[in-house]
C-alpha cells in the first residue's frame, strides 16, 4: 500500500512540475517543438559522452572503492540500474545494482551496498561544489543564492567531518585487536568499501567520479549546442542545467524524474535568456539523450546476462 502512495505522490509532483514548467514559457505550437531543427550529429556525440560518464563511474569502483570488481562488470550493473530507474518507480535500479553485482565471487551484497552508499555521498559533495560554482556565472536572486551558500558551508563541514571520521576509523582498524566485538564487526562492513584500508580509495574514486561528471557536462553542452544555442551562452548554461536538474531529481516524481527534470531545465535556461522554443525542445531533448544512452545498453546487458526478475528477487532476499 505504501508503494502505491509513493507512486501517487511521485505522479502528482510530475504533473505539477510539468504544468508549471511549460506554463512559464507561455503558449507554444507543439508542432514547432516537434519539428524544431536539431543537429543530430551533436546529439549522437552527446549520447556517447553520457555513456562514457558511466564508464568512468565504473572505473571509480574497479580502481577505487570497489577494487576486485571488473570494470565491465560494474558498467553492466550501472547501465541496468539506470535503465530500470528510468522506467520503474521507487528507485528500484539501485536495488538491482546490488542484486546484479552481489553474490558473485568475492562480492557480497553488503559490500556492494556499502560501495553504493559511498558513491552517492561523493556524488552529493561533487554536486554541491557544482552548485556553488554556478554562482560565478548566474544571478539566481538573493534567496536562492543564500540557499546555495548554505549548501557550500554544509559541503565544507561534511568534508571536514568525513576526513576526521575516516582518520578515526583507520586508527581503530589498525588497532582492531584491542577493540570491542561490535566495533570490529562495524569496521568489517566499512572495510568492504576499502575506505579505511587505504585512504587513497577516496582519491582514486573521486578522480574518476569527477571525470564522470565532466562527461555529463559535455553531454549537456553538446545537447544545448545541437539546437543552435550560442557557445558563449551554452557554456555556463550547461553547468546550471546539469546542477539544477540533478538537484531536482532528488524530488519524488515519476520514473526517470519526468516533470521535475523538465522544470529544472527550463528554469535554468530562462536565467540565460534562452528562447522559449529552444528551452521547450531542450527540456525534452536532454532527457531523451539519457534515455537513448542507457535504455538500449541496460536492456541488452539484462538480456545477455540471463538475469530474471525472479532470480534477482530471490538472490537479494
Tens digits of residue pLDDT in 290-299: 999 999 999 9
Q: Is this prediction's pTM over 0.75?
A: yes
Confidence of residue 182 (pLDDT cuts 50, 70, 90): confident
Nearest to 250 by CA among 133, 113, 57, 85: 85
Q: What is the pLDDT of residue 26?
A: 60
Render pLDDT for 27-52 as a digit per residue (tens, 0 to 9). 566 677 778 899 999 999 999 999 99
Q: What is the pLDDT of residue 317?
A: 44
Task: Among 188-197, 234-243, 290-299, 307-316, name the one with the lowest average pLDDT.
Answer: 307-316
Nearest to 300 by CA among 42, 51, 43, 46: 51
Q: Are 96 and 314 in contact (CB under 8 A)?
A: no
Q: What is the pLDDT of residue 239?
A: 92
- DSSP code for 58: H
Q: What is the pLDDT of residue 55?
A: 97
Q: What is the pLDDT of residue 316?
A: 43
Q: Cell for 15?
A: 504533473
Can you tell me the distance from the alpha carbon of 163 to that of 183, in angstroms, rounded to the nearest whole number?
Answer: 19
- What element of type H or E holds 45? helix 40-60
Render pLDDT for 76-131 as a digit per residue (tens, 0 to 9). 999 999 998 888 766 677 777 877 777 555 556 777 877 888 888 888 888 888 88
- DSSP code for 62: I
What mean pLDDT is predicted for residues 197-207? 82
Can you tell me the distance from the alpha carbon of 210 to that of 196, in angstroms, rounded to the nearest whole number?
Answer: 21
Q: What is the pLDDT of residue 62?
A: 87
Q: Cell for 33?
A: 517543438
Amino acid at each position: 500500500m505504501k508503494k502505491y502512495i509513493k507512486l501517487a505522490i511521485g505522479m502528482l509532483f510530475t504533473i505539477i512540475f510539468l504544468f508549471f514548467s511549460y506554463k512559464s514559457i507561455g503558449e507554444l505550437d507543439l508542432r514547432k517543438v516537434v519539428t524544431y531543427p536539431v543537429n543530430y550529429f551533436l546529439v549522437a556525440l552527446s549520447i556517447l559522452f553520457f555513456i562514457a560518464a558511466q564508464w568512468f563511474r565504473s572505473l571509480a569502483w574497479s580502481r577505487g572503492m570497489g577494487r576486485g570488481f571488473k570494470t565491465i562488470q560494474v558498467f553492466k550493473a550501472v547501465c541496468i540500474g539506470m535503465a530500470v530507474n528510468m522506467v520503474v518507480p521507487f528507485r528500484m535500479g539501485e536495488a538491482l545494482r546490488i542484486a546484479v553485482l552481489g553474490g558473485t565471487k568475492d562480492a557480497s551484497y553488503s559490500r556492494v551496498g556499502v560501495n553504493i552508499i559511498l558513491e552517492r555521498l561523493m556524488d552529493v559533495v561533487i554536486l554541491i561544489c557544482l552548485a556553488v560554482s554556478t554562482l560565478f556565472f548566474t544571478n539566481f536572486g538573493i534567496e536562492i543564492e543564500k540557499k546555495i551558500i548554505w549548501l557550500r558551508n554544509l559541503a565544507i563541514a561534511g568534508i571536514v567531518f568525513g576526513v576526521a571520521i575516516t582518520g578515526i576509523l583507520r586508527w581503530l582498524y589498525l588497532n582492531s585487536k584491542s577493540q570491542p566485538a561490535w566495533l570490529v564487526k562495524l569496521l568489517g562492513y566499512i572495510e568492504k568499501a576499502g575506505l579505511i584500508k587505504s585512504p587513497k580509495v577516496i582519491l582514486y574514486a573521486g578522480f574518476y567520479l569527477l571525470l564522470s561528471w565532466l562527461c555529463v557536462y559535455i553531454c549537456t553542452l553538446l545537447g544545448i549546442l545541437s539546437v543552435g544555442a550560442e557557445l558563449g551562452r551554452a557554456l555556463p548554461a550547461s553547468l546550471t542545467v546539469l546542477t539544477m536538474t540533478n538537484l531536482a531529481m532528488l524530488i519524488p516524481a515519476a520514473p526517470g524524474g519526468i516533470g521535475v527534470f523538465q522544470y529544472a531545465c527550463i528554469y535554468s535556461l530562462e536565467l540565460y535568456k534562452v528562447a522559449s522554443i529552444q528551452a521547450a525542445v531542450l527540456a525534452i531533448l536532454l532527457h531523451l539523450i539519457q534515455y537513448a544512452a542507457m535504455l538500449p545498453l541496460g536492456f541488452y546487458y539484462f538480456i545477455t546476462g540471463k538475469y530474471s526478475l525472479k532470480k534477482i528477487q530471490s538472490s537479494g532476499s
